[in-house]
Amino acid sequence: MLSERELERYDRQIMIFGTEGQEKLKGSKVAVVGVGGLGSPVAYYLAAAGVGTILLIDEQTPELSNLNRQILHWEEDIGKNPKPLSAKWKLERFNSDIKIETFVGRLTEENVDEVLDGVDVIVDCLDNFETRFLLDDYAHRKGVPLVHGAVEGTFGQVTTIVPGVTKSLREIFPNAGKKEGKFPILGATAGAVASIQVLEAIKLLTGLGEPLLNRFLIVDLAFNTFDVVDLR
């Protein structure tokens, strides 16, 4: 049941998906894997929407050069507070009606089942395909939807993986190699792509609209292009 305070807080979005939709968000747990450029706005908007439990996963600590895009981390967090804890501190003050859980560490084949246990939707905010494929495998093993997002420069891509319904990430990117290291990125690009990822999660949880199932959204914000590629 929603409290009076929640009914008021979420009034404008209850106009979209009703109290039933809001209750579904409240009863849901969403994992944000990677609390960086995508993960910061993803976690922020999930918290704003009233998703009942948000699990933040990351092993890093913020650096000064992260702050152009990782908006949940502030100057005082640099070199000090691991990203999930830094984000948790702000999100709890932003919305005290929700629960923020954290895992400070890297997801591995050994710990993924335990760490993601009970999660309804996974949001991929990672910066490498190695760990993405780990999430992809978990999603298929457990039947949990996975919202994929990635950015570079002014470019971004989003698609939603639903086991048994859509292609897997491994099928979409059979050749994605290891490409770690420094990539160009503008905070606003991450914000735009992250917002689309949050909408995907909310669509999955409330039944609103049509998620990007077997459809691959590619945007180039420098050139104003939004394309949806059919993956079937």
Partner 1 sequence: MRIKLRYFARYRSLVGKGEEELEVPDGITVRELIDILRERHPVLKNEVFAEDDDLADVNVSRNGRYVRFDEMLEDGDVVALFPPVSGG
Query: Do 211 and 204 form a contact (C-beta atoms < 8 A)?
Result: yes
Per-residue binding string, partner 1, 107-136, x by CB under 8 A, is -----------------xxxxxx--x----
Tell me which of 21, 37, 82, 191 binds partner 1, using CB under 8 A: 37
Tell me which of 172, 199, 212, 217 binds partner 1, using CB under 8 A: 172
Tell me which of 21, 34, 50, 82 binds partner 1, using CB under 8 A: 34
Tell me which of 1, 93, 96, 223 binds partner 1, using CB under 8 A: 223
Nearest distance from C-beta of residue 223 to partner 1, angstroms: 6
205 sits near partner 1 (criterion: CB under 8 A): no
Rounded (5°) CA angle 141-143-148? 95
Using DSSP's 3-state secondary structure scheme, residue 199 falls into helix
Beta bridge partners of 215: 230
Nearest distance from C-beta of residue 180 to partner 1, angstroms: 8
Using DSSP's 3-state secondary structure scheme, residue 183 falls into coil
Stretch that binds partner 1, among 43-51, 85-93, 135-143, 174-182 (CB under 8 A): 174-182
Residues 6+ apart with CB under 8 A from 170: 133, 136, 137
Give the span between the Cα atoms of 23 and 1, in whole angstroms.
7
Residue for token digits 């998906």? 17
228 sits near partner 1 (criterion: CB under 8 A): yes
CA 76 to chain centre: 24
Tell me which of 179, 188, 207, 209 binds partner 1, using CB under 8 A: 179
Nearest distance from C-beta of residue 191 to partner 1, angstroms: 13
How far, CA to CA in Å, does 143 sit from each of 27, 69, 137, 139, 168?
18, 32, 10, 5, 12
Binding site for partner 1 (CB under 8 A): 34, 36-39, 124-129, 132, 149-153, 155-157, 172-173, 175-177, 179, 183, 185, 190, 216, 218, 220, 223, 225, 227-232
